[in-house]
Amino acid sequence: MLIEKLNWRYATKKMHPSKTVSDEKVDRILEAARLAPTSSGLQPFEIFVVTNPDVRARIREVAWDQSPITDGSHLLVFAAWDNYTSERINASFDLVNDERGFTNEGWENYRQMLLSTYVPREAQVNFEHAARQAYIALGMTLTAAAFEAVDSTPMEGFEPEKVDEILGLREKGLRSVTILPLGYRAEEGDWLKDLKKVRRAKEDFITEIK
């Protein structure tokens, strides 16, 4: 079932502007992203769900004029932390302690290790690490969308600084990493729609070490 869905999905180039993804499906897709694994469970990113037509039009202007941004019904913007701070790390660890209802010596030692390792590092190094965590969630989101029979188009083709400005991300300590329109493929106008999915052969892609 899962492999069938993954074969069905593709980076949709033309979405149907009058078809809207239901709130229920979007909620399940976002929940898959929220449940994605991240390094040390820090979840160092946020997702912005943009449905406002004017905002999406402005983003399209700084994203190579890619039509799914405005023709899809939702635009997801993955924005990573611009840095790891003691406040952010402590908030994550405190949340775990609150939710589980107890503290653990090993867990607290791990907190101190992260504080002493992450906080002194250069902000750019920390941002790049956080961005990689956002991409794990992106993969989960793409898979969840396919499972819901919702089309999606992962994009790096945009000007992050300008998207940050449009959404006011820098003021929130965030930087845009990737964007993902959700919608439904158009019947016509998509050159990629009916082409065979092509991937490297298994023997050229996977190496077994026994």
Q: What is the pLDDT of residue 158?
A: 98
Q: What is the pLDDT of residue 93?
A: 98
Assign 82 to helix, strand or coil.
coil
Assign 182 to helix, strand or coil.
strand
State how far the Cα of 141 lies from the Cα of 124, in Å rounded to an integer. Answer: 25
Assign 175 to helix, strand or coil.
strand
Q: What is the pLDDT of residue 193?
A: 84
The pLDDT confidence band at residue 196, using thresholds 50, 70 and 90, is: confident
Average pLDDT over every residue of 173-186: 97
Q: What is the pLDDT of residue 195?
A: 85
Q: How far is CA 70 from the centre of its chain?
A: 18
Six-digit token string for 112: 């101190």
Q: What is the pLDDT of residue 190?
A: 83
Six-digit token string for 189: 């106008």
Residue 96 clears pLDDT 90, i.e. is over it: yes
The pLDDT confidence band at residue 1, using thresholds 50, 70 and 90, is: confident
pLDDT in tens, 73-92: 999 999 999 999 999 999 99
pLDDT in tens, 111-165: 999 999 999 999 999 999 999 999 999 999 999 999 999 999 999 999 999 999 9
State how far the Cα of 46 lies from the Cα of 138, in Å rounded to an integer. Answer: 11
Q: What is the pLDDT of residue 53?
A: 98
pLDDT in tens, 37-49: 999 999 999 999 9
56 Cβ contact partners less than 8 Å away, ≥ 6 residues apart: 50, 69, 70, 75
Q: Are strands 45-50 and 151-152 parallel, antiparallel or unpaired?
A: unpaired
As a whole number, the mean pLDDT across the chain is 96
What type of residue is 96? V
